[in-house]
Each structure stands twice: as C-alpha cells, then as structure tokens.
Amino acid sequence: MAEAKTTTGEKKYTWKRDFQMNKGIYLFFVPMFIYQILFCYLPLFGILMAFEDFKIGKGYFGSPWVGLDNFVTLFSGQDFPRALRNTLVMGALNLTIGFFLPIVFAFLLSLLHDKRYKRTVQTMSYIPNFVSAVVVCALAVNLLGREGAITQLLSLFGLPKQNWLANGDIPVFWLINTFLNVWVGLGWGSIVYVSSIAQINGDLHEAAAIDGATRMQRLFKITLPSIMPMIVMMFTLQVGVSFVAGFDKVLLLYMPSTYSTADCLATYTYRLAFSSGANYGLSSASGLFQSIMGTALLIYSNHLNRKVTGMALF
C-alpha cells in the first residue's frame, strides 16, 4: 500500500509507517497486549453469571436465566446498605486524605536542596509499597493490639487500652484503613508529582525569586499551576478505582465485631462467592454493580474536572 501524500507533497504519517519506524516498541507492547486480552477482556464473558442462577456443573449455557433477579436480591439484602455506606466512606477518605498527602509530600521534597538527603527520603518512602499486604496487616495487628505500641502511646492521651482493630465504633476502622493506605502509598503516589515538578522550567522560579517571591509564593503561583494537569488526571483515575481500593487490607483485618464499619462491597462480594452456600450469580451481580459505579464515577469526575478546572483526562 503506497503511503498517502499531503497537498504539499510530504508523506502522510500513517500507522504502517509508524510501525516500520517503531518495531521495537510494538514488540515490547505484545506481552502486555496478550495479558490484557487473557486476563481483562476474555473474563468479561463471565458477566453472564450475573443474569443466571449459575451452577458450575451446568456452565454458562446450561444454567437457568434469571434476568435481573440477582440484582433485586443484592439490593434488598440486609447487609448491602451497610457495605455500600462503608465503601463510600472509605473511598471518600482515600480520595481526600489518601490522595492529597502524596501531593503535599512531593511539594515538601521539592523544597529540599540537599540531593543526597532528598534521595534517601524518597527511597525510604517507597519501601512500604513493596511490602506484602499480609505483612502490613500483621504489623497493624501487633501495633494496634491491646498491648501494642500505638495503643500504649494513645493511652498516654487518655484513650482506653483496647484492641483497636476489634473496635466497631465509627470511625475507628475507617481511619485505620485510611492511614494504612497512606503509609503504604505515600511515597509511591508522589513519584509522578515529583517528576512533574522536576520538569518545571527553573527560569520561572529564578525570575520569581528575583522579584521577591518567597518559597511558599513560588509553590502556589508556579509549582501548583504547572502540575495541575497531572493532579487532575490522577484524581480522575483515583475516583474510578475508589470502590475497590484497599480491599486486600480490609479482608485481612476485619472481623465479625467490625462488620458494621469494615464490611465493604468488595468483601461482601467475596463472602457471597466463597463462603459456605456460595452464590456465584449474586456475587457476579455485585461485582458488575461495582464496575458500573466505578465507570460512572470516572466519567462524572472527568466531566466535573473539565467544568471546574477546564482540564480533563478524556
């Protein structure tokens, strides 16, 4: 196929030409493409279970079709409103405290002049992200137990000695889950902001400093506006996954005494699918509901960002 030409006689930049110029990059993309097909798109066929009284022995095509009955049962379930409330609250905390602290941390790093000290702080802040969720939760159990170090410290301020992870009062578990997510993701979440700040033209800061601008003034007048597109993009993406964020830690830490404040849609779906008397159709309906809500939140967040800030992800 001959390459198309523009009215000025130049060759049009076609996909075929791009492939010839970047064969190596496309080759690196192949494993990820296969991964996406096998583990992200082919499993979408399982959505059928949400509309069936699914039986493993009968399979997708042998199980009786029940339409929207699974969704009716899901929404009328006694535990569903509680799980939805906890999901919304913990998601909101992750979108406020959990989202903005990495930005603040990146700003603080940008104010450090000692490069060796800055690299040391950054490296140490990344380490928790590579620690297994099982280890993180084991640390939480030890530190927040009745004789744990954090419990002992809190008792100095008049708070009772207790196993804080077994406390079902509002908002104890919500705050524990939020600060665990912050501790794990603070350094890792700040990487994109640190990189964006590093790309800002230094001449802007130099000119502002000559004009008498303080560090804080340069931070809010130059740094923040410069990385705002990145903040908007990351916030939009974070909204889309807020329904399932932190599921592993909740699953490892919650217990019957904290179901009232810890049980979220992800753990609720997990119990429906893998507890005794598992209902795969009902759990699939719950998973599909979460996916729809996550997509709706992503689209709405993108629309709201475009309306308020004039910037959007798509």
Q: What is the CATH number of the domain that holds 216?
A: 1.10.3720.10
Dihedral of CA atoms 6, 10, 13, 14 in degrees, nearest 10, equals: 60
Residue range 210-221: mean pLDDT, rounded:
87
pLDDT at 103 exceeding the cut of 60: yes
Which pLDDT does position 8 carry in this prediction? 53
Asked, for residue 262, whether it belongs to a domain, the answer is yes
Which pLDDT does position 1 carry in this prediction? 39
Contact 95, 242 (CB under 8 A): yes
Which pLDDT does position 246 carry in this prediction? 65
pLDDT at 247 exceeding the cut of 70: yes
pLDDT at 148 exceeding the cut of 80: yes
Q: How many domains does the chain have?
A: 1
Q: How confident is the model at residue 179 (pLDDT cuts 50, 70, 90)?
A: very high
Which pLDDT does position 10 carry in this prediction? 54
Residue range 251-262: mean pLDDT, rounded:
89
CA pair distance 72, 302, nearest whole angstrom: 30
Which pLDDT does position 150 carry in this prediction? 92
- Nearest Cα neighbor of 66 from 226, 265, 279 is 279
Q: How confident is the model at residue 11 (pLDDT cuts 50, 70, 90)?
A: low
Q: Considering only residues 174 and 277, tell me which one the structure prediction assigns the higher pLDDT.
A: 174
CA pair distance 290, 292, nearest whole angstrom: 5
pLDDT at 309 exceeding the cut of 80: no
pLDDT exceeding 90 applies to what percent of the chain? 26
- Nearest Cα neighbor of 176 from 188, 189, 187, 163 is 163
Asked, for residue 66, whether it belongs to a domain, the answer is no
Asked, for residue 46, whether it belongs to a domain, the answer is no
Asked, for residue 17, whether it belongs to a domain, the answer is no
Q: Is 229 exposed, middle or buried (0-12, 13-18, 19+ CB in 10 A)?
A: middle
pLDDT at 91 exceeding the cut of 70: yes
Which pLDDT does position 37 carry in this prediction? 93
Residue range 161-179: mean pLDDT, rounded:
91
Which residue in this structure is represented by tokens 């066929």? 45
pLDDT at 126 exceeding the cut of 80: yes
Q: How confident is the model at residue 153 (pLDDT cuts 50, 70, 90)?
A: very high
Q: Structural domain of residue 89, as residue ranges?
A: 72-309
Asked, for residue 40, whether it belongs to a domain, the answer is no
- Mean pLDDT over each residue of the chain, to the nearest integer: 86
Asked, for residue 42, whether it belongs to a domain, the answer is no
pLDDT at 264 exceeding the cut of 70: yes
DSSP-assigned letters across all residues of 145-173: STT-HHHHHHHTTTPPPS-GGG--STTHH
- Nearest Cα neighbor of 132 from 184, 178, 174 is 184
Contact 167, 258 (CB under 8 A): yes
Asked, for residue 25, whether it belongs to a domain, the answer is no
Asked, for residue 222, whether it belongs to a domain, the answer is yes
Q: Considering only residues 13 and 28, tell me which one the structure prediction assigns the higher pLDDT.
A: 28
Output b/e per residue, 42-54; b: 16+ Cβ within 10 A.
eeeeeebbbbbbb
In this structure, how many other beta carbons lie within 10 angstroms of the beta carbon of residue 237? 14
